[in-house]
Amino acid sequence: MSEPRVRTRRGVLAPTLFALVGIAILCGLGLWQLERKAWKENLIATLNTRLARAPENLPPSANWSQLKPEGNEYTRVVFPAEFLAGQEALVYTPGSPLRPDVKGPGYWVFAPAQLSGGGIVLVDRGFVPLERKDPATRAGGAPRGIIEIVGVMRWPETRGLFTPADDAAGNVWYVRDTKAIAAAKKWATAAPFYIDQESPVPEGGWPKPGKLAIALPNNHWQYAITWFGLALALAGVYGVWLVGRLRRRG
């Protein structure tokens, strides 16, 4: 075998391996995005199905430890309860993708509800704008006595890397972590979930409860096309380079 051919093969081997590995990685990312697309579509369908069902009775406290987010979150429930007077915690929100009626910043008003059958569950009673942070500005909405609450079961949120520190002294939290809120407020609750209230709407309209609307982003098809397109582009660049290389050697 002649020396030029040996050099040609050696000069082509490394770029070829690099191109093949790159194409394989890009195609793998594209396939992963297609899998994520199918998963997201199934998730959206499941959540919409749960939210469309009629509310069912809230599970008894003895069964709370068996409830899991994957099987029970976004289940609509109904139950009689009485809010503990004068008790609430505010969770700041810049707006909500799940509440189309909440357009600007404000607070979610959390309160402990005493169940008629025993036990306490935290309820997100709804949204108030920034100017109604003080309970005195919405005194008409203070709940009285036992009421029938309709809402959706939700699980506590996890704190993000850039989430501000909570201000327990100022009664303001920045993530709906009901375990942390209950511990700071000394609310006795064993529920692993909280309730996102739909009704009833309190007198005066504040806090403002409402129905959730699933609006999860689903851009995985575009991402998959991007990865496959990059793989095709890399294959094209490699092909042009290889043809040119072989012509020069020839």
Q: Which long-range contacts (CB under 8 A, 24 or more apart) does 65-74 make?
A: 65/190, 65/192, 67/153, 67/192, 67/193, 69/155, 72/153, 72/193, 73/153, 73/154, 73/155, 73/193, 74/47, 74/50, 74/152, 74/153, 74/154, 74/212, 74/214
Q: Is the pLDDT of residue 217 over 80?
A: no
Q: Is the pLDDT of residue 207 over 60?
A: yes
Domain ranges of the chain: 3-47+218-249, 75-205
pLDDT tens for 78-118 read: 999 999 988 999 999 998 888 888 989 999 999 999 998 77
- Furthest CA-CA distance within the chain: 96
Instruction: Report pTM.
Output: 0.77
pLDDT in tens, 18-31: 999 999 999 999 99
Pick the most confident of 32-46, 143-157, 208-222, 235-249: 143-157
For the chain, the average pLDDT equals 89
The Cα-based distances of 218 to 35, 110, 163, 214 in angstroms read 12, 30, 24, 11
∠ CA 108-206-97, rounded to 5°:
40
Cα 118 from chain centroid (whole Å): 30
Mean pLDDT of 154-175: 92
pLDDT at 245 over 90: no
**What integer pLDDT is reported at residue 244 of this predicted model?**
83
- Whether the pLDDT of residue 7 is over 60: the answer is no
